[in-house]
Amino acid sequence: MKNLEQNNTVLKEYEKKPGMKRREFLIRAGKAGLCVAAASSLGYYFYDPHGPAAFSQKENIITLPDFSLPDKRPVMAIVHGTGDRNKSLGMAIKALGGMEVFIKKGDRVLLKVNAAFASPPSLSATTHPDLVSETIRLCYAAGASSVSVTDNPINDPATCFTLSGIDKAALSQGARVILPRESLFQPTTVSGAKLIRSWPLLYGPFDGITKLIGMAPIKDHHRSGASMTMKNWYGLLGGRRNIFHQDVHGVIEELAMMVSPTLVILDGTWTMMTNGPTGGSLSDLKQTNTMIVSTDQVAADAYGATLLGKSPENLPHILKAEAQGVGTADFNSINPIRINAG
């Protein structure tokens, strides 16, 4: 037990000799001087005459990088006629030139799925696990060095990823599921936006990512009319994001401005026609057997709306996003490749 008192006994020696006394004094004075200097410099260095700012200025406001292909060519493939998701996805991707067009060797891919609810895949409230596993497979086949899957669910994340089957699907193909946690969120501001300003974004999973694919089922939505690829990005927001439901079309518009994906996959195999976004009854679903793959999320949503029996006029967020230059609502103008799988 090293007693701090040890110092004290040593001092007594110096008292005896006058010269030593002087020396002790000078050493002590020197130490005192150093302390004064240290205290003063600390004081002046940290001196803050103004006090804290109104809001704790968070460090960096980040912006998502643009993951779209350099040529920015809007393309779309629509496959009708089959309920086999693997098949319809494969055909759609092939029609667009194959996954290699989008995923290059060494790419690190992030799949933004809809795992919002802890619902079984049959309710079509979440991205279907078959779609997830097939997409991962295609990515790896195209040379991706890593594939991760993420979402910030509404319900408890672990349960959502499990019960929706996405977790299992991802792991089966060797992809990583990144569950949200507080440290993965960072504030973002969408330039020109009114709502998404300094808002927590699930940014952590984007670390090192080079390609982004959004995957969403076609669903009716009680508040916004529909939930498709643009609304899918809502799952990247953190904080008390339900506040945005007060201006839901506005926020979807800004979400579309915020994210520029490489590709979006809109699954219209079983469309949730009513009672969205949670659905719950199989009678809410209609088997429309359609798979839409596009680089233009606005066009994809505009086409998906038709499966819901709606049009862009019913869904203001589509027109708003188009007005912001995110894409075009007139999907025919981008000459979608239509395939009938028979």
Partner 1 sequence: MKITTARQISQIFFVILFLWFCVTTTLGDKWWQLRGWPVNWIIQLDPLVGIGTLLATRALYAGLLWGLITVVSTIVLGRFFCGWVCPFGAIHQFMGFCGKYKKPLKDKISINRYSPWQSLKYFFLFIFLAAAFIDLSGILAPGNPLVTGSLQIGLLDPIPLLYRSVNLALLPLFDGSVVHLSASFRFYDGAWVIGVVFIAAMTLNFLRPRFYCRYICPLGALFGILSRFAIFRIGKNKPECSNCDFCEKNCEGACSPTSRIRVNECVLCMNCVKDCRHEMMSYRKYPSEAGERVSPDMTRRGLVLTLASGALLPPMFRLSGTTSLNRHASLVRPPGSIIEHEFLKRCIKCGQCMRICPTNVIHPAGFEAGFEALWTPSLNFRIGTSGCQHNCIACGNICPTAAIRPITLDERLGTGSYENQGPIRIGMAFVDHGRCLPWAMDLPCIVCQENCPVSPKAIFTREIYQSVREHNDIKIRMLEKNVVETTNKNMEPDRFATGDYFLKFIDMPDLSLSLITGNTENKIEFTGTDSLDKALYYDGRAEILILLQQPYIDPEKCIGCGICQHECPVKGKRAIRITAENESRNPEHSFLLSR
CB of 45 to partner 1, least distance (A): 9
Least distance between partner 1 and beta carbon 238 (Å): 10
Shortest spacing between CB 133 and partner 1, in angstroms: 34
Q: What are phi and psi of 163, to 5 degrees?
A: -70, -25
Distance (Å, rounded) from C-alpha 260 to C-alpha 252? 13
CB of 36 to partner 1, least distance (A): 5
Residue partners of 84: CB distance under 8 A and separation at least 6: none
Is there a contact between 248 and 224 (Cβ–Cβ < 8 Å)? yes
- Cβ closest to partner 1, residue 154 vs residue 195: 195
Residue type, 342: G
> To the nearest whole angstrom, how small is the minimum distance from the Cβ of residue 247 to partner 1?
6
Cβ proximity to partner 1, 73 vs 223, nearer residue: 223
Q: Specify the residue, 1 or 71, whose C-beta has the smaller distance to partner 1.
A: 1
Residue 260: φ, ψ to 5°: -120, 95
For residues 307-340, one letter each, b for 16 or more C-beta atoms within 10 angstroms of the residue's C-beta and e for the rest, the string is bbebebeebbbbbbbbeeebbbbebeebebeebe
CB of 46 to partner 1, least distance (A): 4
Distances (CA, A) of 71 to 75, 255, 280, 301: 11, 22, 41, 21
Q: What angle do CA 19, 20, 25 make, to 5 degrees?
A: 105
Q: CB-wise, 29 or 141, nearer to partner 1?
A: 29
User: Residues 276, 115, 74, 89: what is their CA dihedral angle, to the nearest 10 degrees?
Assistant: -100
Query: Which residues in this chain contact partner 1 in the complex, by CB under 8 A?
Result: 1-5, 7-9, 11-12, 14-15, 21, 24-25, 28-29, 31-32, 35-36, 39-40, 42-43, 46-52, 54-56, 59, 182-183, 185, 194-195, 197-198, 239-240, 243-244, 246-247
* Residues contacting residue 43 through CB under 8 Å, at least 6 positions apart: none
Residue number, 62 or 243, with CB nearest to partner 1:
243
* C-beta closer to partner 1: residue 190 or 305: 190
Q: Nearer to partner 1 by C-beta: 78 or 251?
A: 251
Q: Which tokens sit at 306? A: 């038709």
Nearest approach, Cβ of residue 310 and partner 1 (Å): 25
Q: Which is nearer to partner 1, 73 or 194 (CB)?
A: 194
Give residue for tokens 């802890």: 118
Angle at which helices 297-307 and 316-323 cross, to 10°: 160
Peptide bond into 121 cis (omega under 30): no
Bridge partners, 176 (sequence order): 148
Q: Return d(Cα 248, Cα 337) in angstroms, integer.
A: 31
Instruction: Tell me how far, at minimum, the Cβ of 56 lies from partner 1, in Å.
Output: 5
- CB 232 → partner 1: shortest distance, Å? 21
One-letter amino acid of 191: S
State the maximum Cα–Cα separation within the chain, in Å, rounded to a whole number: 109
Q: Cβ neighbours of residue 314 under 8 Å, at least 6 residues apart? A: 225, 305
Cβ closest to partner 1, residue 81 vs residue 250: 250
